[in-house]
Amino acid sequence: MLTEKQTLRYDLLKATRYEVAAAKACYEFITGSDNQTPAAPVDGVIPDGVYLVMADDKNTAVLYRPGMQLMAEEISRCIGIGVKQGDRSLTVSLRDAADGDTELTTQKGGSRFITNYHDAVTDWDGEAGTADLREILHPNIKLGEKEYIPSLGQLYFILAHFREINEALNAVGGDPLQDLWYWSSTEHSATFARTLTLNNGYADGHTKATNQLRVRAVSAFLPLVVNL
């Protein structure tokens, strides 16, 4: 005979299709207090999902649920939208890093070239790509101290969560991602960098110093405290 708590846990496990982490997160949410006191990740694992990343010394992240009501303080403190899926995660900035479309660089250059498309798709190191472009990066692109231009692989990750990210961006007054071309920091050569349109996922290469596309910066998603 199952206890009341065990029955609830079993029902949640079935409802989440036996995803243990998701069931635990639901259980903690249901049995937790109403004041949403920050709680540590379940078993040290941060559940997959979309988060509101807050500006504070604890790097707090609040799990975002569609349609949830946000307080004015939460909206004003939000500095980015965090996304986690499996072992992949990043934080999307609230707004583009440039005012409208811009060239990626001021001239040819760079040295971190990935010429094979399949290798470029799996490139997840936007920090290294941005560092390679730093000296010739176009001045229109304003990056924060911990921000960088996403790699092609990271842009595809953003595209996979396009709707969820935009819903969270709208909820906190950020600028939604557009169905347009975006620069990645994955370079094909001294002349070209990889690009992705968030309209249909088509990847291409554009001339870094002459073509004008959008830039949405990202940063690491490493929350220490999670509201569930």
Residue 12 pLDDT greater than 90, yes or no? no
Q: How far apart are CA 12 and CA 30, in angstroms?
A: 10
Residue 22 pLDDT greater than 90, yes or no? no
pLDDT in tens, 161-185: 999 999 999 999 999 999 999 999 9
Residue 196 pLDDT greater than 50, yes or no? yes
**Residue 16 confidence (pLDDT):** 66
**Residue 67 confidence (pLDDT):** 85
Range with the largest mean pLDDT of 22-36, 61-75, 132-146: 132-146
Q: Strand, helix or coil at 15?
A: helix
187-190 long-range contacts, CB within 8 A, separation 24+: 187/110, 187/112, 187/113, 187/114, 187/129, 187/132, 187/133, 188/113, 188/114, 188/115, 188/120, 189/113, 189/115, 190/108, 190/109, 190/110, 190/113
Nearest to 192 by CA among 203, 204, 177, 180: 204
